Amino acid sequence: MGGEPVAKTYKLNPLDAAWLMVESTDTPMHVGSLTIFSLPKNASPDFLRDTVASLRQHRNFAPPFNLKLVSPKLKGVLPAWIEDHKIDLDYHFRHSALPAPGGERELGVLISRLHSHPLDFNRPLWECHLIEGLENNRFALYVKMHHSQVDGVGGMKMLERMLSSDPEATDRLPPWAVGRGGGSARPRAVKAPLAERLKSLALAQAETLPGVIKALGEVVSETFNQTDPAHAAPFVAPKSILNRKIGGQRRFATQYYELERIRRIAKAAEVTVNDVFLELCSGALRRYLDEIQALPNAPLTAGVPVSVRPADDGDSGNAISFIIANLNTHLADPLKRLKAIQESTNIAKDKLQALPKAGINNYTMVFMAPYILSLLTGLGGRTRPMFNVTISNVPGPREHLYFNGARLEQMYPISLLSHGQALNITVVSYAGQFNVGFTGCRDTLPHMQRLATYMAESLEELERAVEKQQHKRRKVV
């Protein structure tokens, strides 16, 4: 009895656990980050090989990189982490290469493939790929993790801790040695045999899951029981190809701009940077869907996650709320679209501010609703969607960062999809740049890279419209 080893298990909060519940072959619930680096000047030809070899030396695994599921086959019912003391690093850390010419196209193809492979649930839920062969003396790092262990903001913090603002720093560690920091995932040392531990976990879970589901129902019906016409309420979104059942294969495309271009428009039009971003998404979607004869008459709506993480919370677990914005894709004029989007987001944000703290907790859970409802009812992709597309804006580092002398040039988020949600557009701001990642269902969105191209053209169009308007105003004054 006394000789039995102490196994540390870590209980998940219901929100984190929900990502494990809804995991399926068609809807893997992992997220990724793609970071592109320049080789240091005068780097030796063996720089990357040496880097890989040196990173492989790090065999200390920080949470969550050291945690695996207690019972992979019951992950939806008995979600709990346990420390893995025999991690097969060669499995998790992989050295890959691009075929010639190694441009953004070849990189996009490889990332699409890597992000389409599910994680192995018998191991800690992460992969890290160092990718060589990127043209113009660059290389890339792709890190894949499960959303039950990290969200966009938490992942960003982790990345920032991994990098340095000092180009000369040579002490930077690989992601698995850095971890998410903080300590709000509380270890619970349990001495009981496995069967009893599982039983007690199941009981704890049974107490909380129905609570979550009940809360969801209440929040969905009460919080959104309002009739303001400019507000985009959930479940009033039009049906669209973006909201059907999805397959398991992904497409990934990227685009980046100078943040200053977005700021200039926001200032001139007296809207937020995020409103401008929503307008660019709207313009790109309008054209892309129109070309494939799939633009609904009614305006598309977007679910826009908003972080509600307290500033002092170092843990990378999930803490997201969201608003629903009307993308006004029925409007052809970019400026009118921008103003209408602003009106919609203002109302949504007012509602969020007005909720008491306890209300925000419940409101937060609504973000899970499409996933949980689709799991419970099998209706995902068959009913009227809660919203048409997920669009996120994650604030990233403001200054240039380095990894052992290699400068970080761009960073892109790669997101997850669910039945009824075939497209996610997420932007990360970094060192004066706006880095946009498009994650889509391969079968739903043919030629998805066109969305990235059209977004660039939407930006130019909006710039011209704003300039024209300012010109007019100056004339009037």
Q: How far is CA 152 from the centre of its chain?
A: 5
CA distance 207 to 225: 28
* 122 forms part of the interface with a copy of itself (CB under 8 A): yes
Least distance between a copy of itself and beta carbon 102 (Å) = 8
Least distance between a copy of itself and beta carbon 50 (Å) = 11
Work out which of 117, 263, 330, 400 binds a copy of itself, going by CB under 8 A. 117
Q: Which is nearer to a copy of itself, 109 or 190 (CB)?
A: 109
Point out which residues pair with 258 in neighbouring strands: 433
Which residue matches tokens 């992989």? Answer: 94
Rounded alpha-carbon distances, angstroms, from residue 76 to 65, 79, 127, 159: 20, 6, 21, 28
Rounded alpha-carbon distances, angstroms, from residue 117 to 31, 269, 295, 401: 12, 43, 30, 29
* Binding region for a copy of itself (CB under 8 A) out of 106-114, 185-193, 386-394, 407-415: 106-114
Which residue matches tokens 């843990």? Answer: 315
* 398 forms part of the interface with a copy of itself (CB under 8 A): no
Nearest Cα residue to 72 out of 124, 6, 9: 124
**CB within 8 A of 311, min separation 6: which ones?**
none
Q: Which of residues 36-75 bind a copy of itself (CB under 8 A)?
A: 48-49
Q: Which of residues 124-183 bind a copy of itself (CB under 8 A)?
A: 132-133
* 84 forms part of the interface with a copy of itself (CB under 8 A): no
* 76 forms part of the interface with a copy of itself (CB under 8 A): no
Is residue 136 a contact partner of residue 125, using CB atoms and an 8 Å limit? no
* Binding region for a copy of itself (CB under 8 A) out of 242-250, 398-406, 407-415, 455-463: 242-250
Q: Which of 115, 129, 146, 147 is catalytic?
A: 147
* 223 forms part of the interface with a copy of itself (CB under 8 A): no
Q: Which is nearer to a copy of itself, 5 or 99 (CB)?
A: 99
Q: Which is nearer to a copy of itself, 91 or 166 (CB)?
A: 91
Least distance between a copy of itself and beta carbon 143 (Å) = 17
> Residue 419 has what DSSP assignment?
T
Annotated catalytic residue 147: yes
Site string for a copy of itself, 431-450 (x = CB under 8 A): -----------xx-------
Q: Phi/psi at 301 (nearest 5 deg)? A: -115, 155
Work out which of 31, 69, 98, 140 binds a copy of itself, going by CB under 8 A. 98
Work out which of 247, 296, 314, 359 binds a copy of itself, going by CB under 8 A. 247
- Edge-to-edge strands, sheet with 433-441: 250-258, 433-441, 423-430, 389-394, 301-307, 320-326
Work out which of 96, 208, 223, 361 binds a copy of itself, going by CB under 8 A. 96
Is residue 38 a contact partner of residue 409, using CB atoms and an 8 Å limit? yes
* 113 forms part of the interface with a copy of itself (CB under 8 A): yes
CA distance 456 to 450: 10
The residues annotated with a catalytic role in the active site are: 147
Interface residue list for a copy of itself (CB under 8 A) = 48-49, 88, 91, 94-100, 106, 109-110, 113, 117, 120, 122, 132-133, 247-249, 442-443
